[in-house]
Structures are given as C-alpha cells and as structure tokens.
Amino acid sequence: MDRRTPAHRAGAQGVAAVRSGSPVRSMLAGSAALVAVLALSLSAVGGTYAMLSSSQQVALVSSTGATSTTITAGTAAIAANGDTIQMTALYPGASRTAEFSVSNTGDTALAVSVDSISGLTAANGLTASVAGASCTAGAPSVASGPLSLTVPAKATATLCLTVAMSTAAPSTAQGLSSGLVVALTGTQP
C-alpha cells in the first residue's frame, strides 16, 4: 500500500511524465533510429572489394637451351675529357669556346644534362654554358639543365663550353684567374 499523500503521488507521476518525454531522451532515441537506418542502408549497398595481384614464374632460357634464374641489369657510365680553355686576354664583352667530348661507356643510351658549372664568381664577371653539339653547330647552350643530346651506348659526342666576360664586369676582375668544373649527368631516356 502506498502511504504517500495524494499530493505526493501526483507530483511523482508528474516528474516521471516529464522525464520520459525529455528532449535529451528523444534525441537519443532519434539518433539510435538514425544509426539503425544508416547501418541497414550501408549493408544493402554491398559490393566486392579486393586487392588484385598476380605472379608468374619465369624460366629464362639461353640460346643454348640452358635455363637461368640470373637477371643482369645494363650499365650506364659517362666520361668527359677535353682541352683546357684558354681565357687569356679575355675582356668585357669577349667570349671563348672549347670543345670537349662525352663518352657513354655503358650499354644503354644516355640523355645528357648539365648539373652545374662551378668556379665562376660574380667578382670576376664570368659566365659559362654548355651546348650539346660542336662549337660550330650553333646549338643552344645552358648553364644547367637538359641538353638536346642523347649519346648511344658505346658512343662519343662532342659538346661545346662557352665562357664569356660580361660587359658589366668590374675593373677588379683584371688579372684574375678562374678554374671551371662542369658537372654532367647521363640519364637513361
């Protein structure tokens, strides 16, 4: 038997009524329903997901019929040589050229590019560039970057180095000397 007064019983029922219809409880119930609908929707989409891969064993057979499992990679090697460029009596506005050769001693063709030309300073007013052809060909030259030159395997090509003194070279550049280092790279095209 309930010993509470009728007023207390009515108040307790009112609190229960407010709690069961609270906005938080309604939001939780709505969110649970949304999750259930979303889960059912995604399971209905379905689909197949796979990581595809394949492999095959290869038997390498030589011209004599023998099998081999050794794979030999090609080689790439580049060498440069040339004469010293004579920069004596170089004056503002003058330039000097010298040819040098690049040899591909490997067994794959190589596209040649200029990595850098070092040894030049702003104090001496010198600039340098390399062309991917002989000096008489008039090919475009670059201070760094790719040349329009691909050297076949076991072949040699002629390049042209141009050194110039700027017309704005300082007077303090008189009597100075400079060594140049041209760094080349050969890349398989």
pLDDT at position 63 is 60
Q: What are the tokens at 99?
A: 């040819």
pLDDT at position 23 is 63
State the fold for domain 78-187.
Answer: Immunoglobulin-like (2.60.40)
- Rg (C-alpha) for the chain, rounded Å, is 40
> Are 181 and 114 contacting, i.e. CB atoms less than 8 angstroms apart?
no
Q: What are the tokens at 22?
A: 């609270």
Full pLDDT tens readout for the chain, 189 residues: 555 555 555 544 444 444 555 665 666 665 665 555 555 555 555 555 555 555 555 555 656 666 655 555 667 777 887 766 776 778 889 998 888 899 998 888 999 999 998 887 667 788 899 999 999 988 899 999 999 899 999 999 999 999 888 888 888 888 877 778 888 998 888
pLDDT at position 156 is 93
